Amino acid sequence: MNLKFAVIAYQALRERIRKQDPTIDDQTLADTVEKLTDVNEILSAVIRSALSDEALTTGLKIRIGEMEDRLAWLQNRASKRRQIAKDAMLELGIQKMTAPDFSVSIRPGFPALHVLNEAAIPSIYWQPGAPRLKRQELLSELKTGTEIEGVALTNPEPVLSVRVK
């Protein structure tokens, strides 16, 4: 029996009993209708299913947290390994290397924004609200040769470029 049908049967039965015996107390009526229908079993099954889903949700949240930690660790490890490869290639003067499953090269990087003195940066380069630098706008201005107090461009760092075939 599905829940919708059980609810309809429960309500109809309750009303029929109440009409036949208007003096019946609520507890007796509830006990009588409960014994004559399986609505309680259906509702119990629905609640057990919800509890099971909630337990799975809790477990998944924990597992997702663990997997996010693992993801961060793997990303950090990959970054370190790329840095090791880049440093070795720069030290050895290797500009390009090809393997069966990838190619790697050292190419010139782009200058990055280096904040020397935040207090000296003009207000037009701060985002409204809580003070926050408009880093992209500052970087664009500096690249065009504009002198802005409090910031400078760094020397470009070489970038390791890996292409997977």
The predicted-structure confidence for 5-46, as pLDDT tens digits, reads as follows 777 777 777 788 788 888 888 887 777 777 666 666 767 777
70 and 109 in a single domain? The answer is no
> Which tokens belong to 90?
């720069």
Structure-model confidence comparison of residues 32 and 83, the more confident one: 83
CA R_g for the chain: 35
66 and 10 in a single domain? The answer is yes
71 and 116 in a single domain? The answer is no
The answer to whether position 116 is within a domain reads yes
Strand partners, 161: 105
Q: Is the pTM of this model over 0.85?
A: no
The answer to whether position 51 is within a domain reads yes
pLDDT tens digits, one per residue of 56-76 = 999 999 999 999 999 999 999
Residue 79: count other Cβ atoms within 10 Å of its Cβ.
10
pLDDT over threshold 90, residue 113? yes
The answer to whether position 17 is within a domain reads yes
- Enter the DSSP assignment of 56: H
> Which tokens belong to 78?
């990959």
The answer to whether position 44 is within a domain reads yes
The answer to whether position 54 is within a domain reads yes
Decide if 95 contacts 145 (C-beta within 8 A).
Answer: no
Handedness of CA 104, 108, 112, 116 (dihedral sign): positive
Counting the structural domains of the chain, the total is: 2
Which residues constitute the domain of residue 65? 3-75
